Amino acid sequence: MTPKLEIITRLPPAGVARKPVPLLFVHGAFIGAWCWDEYFLAWFAARGYVAQAVSLRGHGQSEGHDHLDWWSIGDYVRDVRFVAAGMERPPVLIGHSMGGFVVQKCLEYAKDEPWPAAALLAAVPPHGLAASTMHLALARPDLFGEINRYMAGHAAHPDLLADVLFAHPMDEARLERYYGLMQGESSRALWDMSLFDLPRLYAMRVPPLLVMGAEADRLIPAAQVRATAGAYGVPAHIFPDMGHGMMLERDWLQVAEHLAAWLESLEL
């Protein structure tokens, strides 16, 4: 049974023609739907899209926090499919980091659910987290150690969040607010992304696909983004001078505009 899920919806304002295909945004690990509501949802709604973001079970205001470590990537996929089934039409799936991995897993069901398009932002690659984890451990062992402490339930300084997610200095009040909204993540889901439930590319019917990454990303380096794009036979767009938290970065508008231009080019 699907737990009660937090769904944030932003509709086009009065007088703005509604686009025929809605957008469904899927967040990454340790956060919730709020990350999309900071900038993206209202921005895309103003351009005519019905823009929704879901907090996966155990995240944000969704149910399931008490059993967070029970939840698998398969459970997160079920959440996305459940929300999508309640939308007017099959949505374009847009996923960041772990959410991008979940979107890839959703594409395994494309024969039954013909997604119109999908976009991956700094997504965990289809070959899993191992290469990205090794890169971080070698390049920044101090940061790698602090992240593992946080994952083990120890408190971390907000500067860790800034170091992990952003290429530019972040206003202290905003950083503190983001840090207060961060949360734990399912260890089962992390293992699924590392080894146990990798995307089955042979089972997919891949729709038009956009792959984007960030040059200064310490978690999913640009090389891993390019590997993801190569696996699907599409180009990768790498934003210079940008960190992992692409939808919250100072230059988030560049990402939104690139995504919007791509959507317009599809003539959905």
pLDDT digits (tens, 9 = 90+) for 51-86: 999 999 999 999 999 999 999 999 999 999 999 999
- Cα 233 to Cα 183, 184, 201, 218, 228: the distances in Å are 35, 34, 12, 24, 9
Residues across the chain:
268
- Residue 155: what pLDDT? 61
Q: What pTM, to 2 d.p., does this model score? A: 0.95
Written as six digits, the tokens of 176 are 């503190």
pLDDT for position 157: 66
Strand ranges across the sheet with 209-214: 6-10, 51-55, 23-26, 92-96, 118-121, 209-214, 236-239
Q: Residue 158: pLDDT band by 50, 70, 90 thresholds?
A: low
User: Domain spans of the chain?
Assistant: 6-129+184-266
- Which distant-in-sequence residues (6+ apart) come within 8 Å of 97 by Cβ? 27, 28, 29, 121, 122, 123, 124, 219, 220, 244
Tokens at residue 229, please?
């794009």
pLDDT tier at 153, thresholds 50, 70, 90: low
Mean pLDDT of 218-232: 96
With beta carbons less than 8 A apart as the criterion, state whether 64 and 87 touch.
Answer: no
Q: Are 99 and 73 in contact (CB under 8 A)?
A: no
Helix (H, G, I), strand (E, B) or coil at 115: coil
Rounded to an integer, the average pLDDT of 22-29 is 98
CA–CA separation, 61 vs 7, rounded Å? 9
**Given this model, what pLDDT does residue 150 score?**
61
User: What's the rounded mean pLDDT across residues 256-262?
Assistant: 98
Regarding the domain delimited by 6-129+184-266, which CATH topology (the fold level of the hierarchy) does it fall under?
Rossmann fold (3.40.50)
